[in-house]
Amino acid sequence: MAEGERQRRHLLGLNGVSAADLIVLLDTAEALAEVSRREVKKLPTLRGKTVINLFMENSTRTRISFEIAAKRLSADSINVSAAGSSISKGETLADTARNLAAMSPDAIVIRHPSAGAARLLADIVDCSIINAGDGWHEHPTQALLDILTIRQYKREIAGLTVTIVGDILHSRVARSNVFGLLTLGARVRVSGPPTLLPPEFAALGVEIEYDLAAAVADSDVVMMLRIQRERQGENFFPSLDEYAHYYCLTEEILAEAKPDVIILHPGPMNRGIEISSGVADGPYSVMMNQVANGVAMRMAVLYQLIVPGADGIRGSKLAHPPKKSLPRLDAGGAA
């Protein structure tokens, strides 16, 4: 294959990624988890590779997690953030990306407030793009680490009932988890107030249950989402108090749940609003495992995308399709 034809591999989202590719990523992370428990927490694998962390939106844990992951694989990782960069001087994302690409990175990890920002980068620069969260769209590495955590407790994803609770509409974590979990054969349920849970979600293949207790009752896994305080100003719910009244995961609700249920939260959490302290610190919570898995998962993603011979992820799957003409509608427009 000629150099120009070599297909760059990207991780823009979990929508469309095959079960086989997801499993390769999860298995790789499982194998890499051991590195973080060593005395010398470093592998030479990505020596000489450059990873740029382009963070156009505040993030502490994701950025640090990617940075540690890159460093543990010996890649040089450089952080670029919105404040203090040329972006704050009015440069467009496309120009920023072209400038960074001119420095020949092997991968760009991007966090951006606009849905589709990672895809835009993949369209215009020639290096692997890893989506670290784009608007409400996807946050694939978060979902992968969530799924990895679930798998460590439940062994098989297929057949599990996973309930995601909270602001589903505005959540990229929810979307990526929905896509990934459905692909791996889980039954996925979403719960939250109707304002934050449009019925169109059902078309993705998930169940909708507005009542939290009913949603949790037969779940194997409950994933709580962070509620953004600013949503109350937008009238999606009247107040945080009322939100907490109906959607805070408490010990009382968990008392009716399966005895081996596990509770996930991508953090940072609002104690007493979407999750009670008793639950957050209780025996069902696996949040610290999520954080620990974050580094291994991101190491796995960096390894599988950057190392050219790592062909376990069939390039065509993670790569976005080449641009071609829009398809015509079926006759009658009724597709």
SS3 217: helix
Tokens of 225: 């989402």
Contact 14, 176 (CB under 8 A): yes
Q: CB of residue 35 vs other proteins: minimum separation in angstroms?
A: 8
**Whose Cβ is closer to other proteins: residue 4's or residue 321's?**
321
Taking the complex as a whole, the smallest distance from the CB of residue 48 to other proteins amounts, in Å, to 10
Structure tokens of 160? Answer: 């599990």
Cβ contact 226:287 at 8 Å: no
Closer by beta carbon to other proteins, 140 or else 263: 140
Q: Cβ(140)–Cβ(131) under 8 Å?
A: yes
- From the DSSP assignment, how many helices (H) and strands (E) are in the chain? 12, 9
Shortest Å distance, C-beta 19 to other proteins: 15
Nearest Cα residue to 31 out of 17, 45, 11: 45
Using CA atoms, how far apart are residues 231 and 166, in angstroms rounded to an integer?
A: 12
Tokens of 242: 């009322």
Binding site for other proteins (CB under 8 A): 15, 24, 27-28, 30-34, 38-40, 42-45, 73, 92-94, 112, 114-117, 119-120, 124, 134-138, 169, 172, 175, 198, 200-201, 203-204, 303-304, 307-313, 320-321, 323-326, 328-335
Type of residue found at 119: R
Q: Which is nearer to other proteins, 66 or 284 (CB)?
A: 66
Q: Cβ of residue 117: shortest distance to other proteins, in angstroms?
A: 5
Closest CB to other proteins among residues 199, 268: 199
Instruction: Give the shortest CB-71-to-other proteins separation in angstroms.
Output: 14
Q: Which is nearer to other proteins, 147 or 263 (CB)?
A: 147
